[in-house]
Amino acid sequence: MSRVLPDPIGRVHIDELTATLSVLRRKTGTLGRWGEVLAERLGGGARLLAAGNGGSAAEAQHLTAELVGRFHDDRRPFSAIALHAESSSMTAIGNDYGYEQVFARQVTAHARPGDLVLLLSTSGRSPNLVRAAEAARSAGARVWALTGPGPNPLADAADEAVELPGSTCSVQEAQLVAVHVICAAFEAALSEVDSDRRAS
């Protein structure tokens, strides 16, 4: 008869994630407001630029896919670009200007006043994302950051940041939840934004 072995690693992982999510729960007001601002600005023709490295790149691209496609509701698409998905630009800029500039140069090219730039990092210490935040603010775009434990340079460079404690994997998993909260708030606010525009 086989014996079921204890799973301390799995329990530790889930316990760590639970601790990170408990902090994220206290940030839902900020995330909900971000979704409302997204609805107002994207509904008015602005765009979202998003970026991250590694797993955070996947989270950022998940967000842009939800905005260009849909989250829950069937509605029109909105302009949202995952900068790291521009592979030819990424490699050309990295080759010619260095990896620290791979997002900043794209932000300088694409961002306009009123646009939004969302940067994701489990550490908050990636130089290429800090440079992107600086470029976005110079362009007149608003910068939001989802980061790991603070204080960190990316949170300092952003207009607003949601800083989460925990290990890299716990922060990354919680950031996916944060992305979904933003999307839910975005779609909830969108119908109100559209109604206000029709009435004005």
By the 8 A CB rule, do 186 and 63 touch?
no
Q: What pTM, to 2 d.p., does this model score? A: 0.91
Tokens 């979704």 locate to 35
Closest CA to 148 of 134, 168, 129, 133: 168
- CATH value at residue 171: 3.40.50.10490
Query: Is residue 24 situated within a structural domain?
Result: yes
Domain membership flag for residue 3: no
In a domain, 2, yes or no: no
Q: What is the pLDDT along the chain (200 residues), one digit of tens a residue?
A: 566 656 677 888 899 999 999 999 999 999 999 999 999 999 999 999 999 999 999 999 999 999 999 999 899 999 999 999 999 999 999 999 999 999 999 999 999 999 999 999 999 999 999 999 999 999 999 999 999 999 999 999 999 999 999 999 999 999 999 999 999 999 999 977 556 556 66
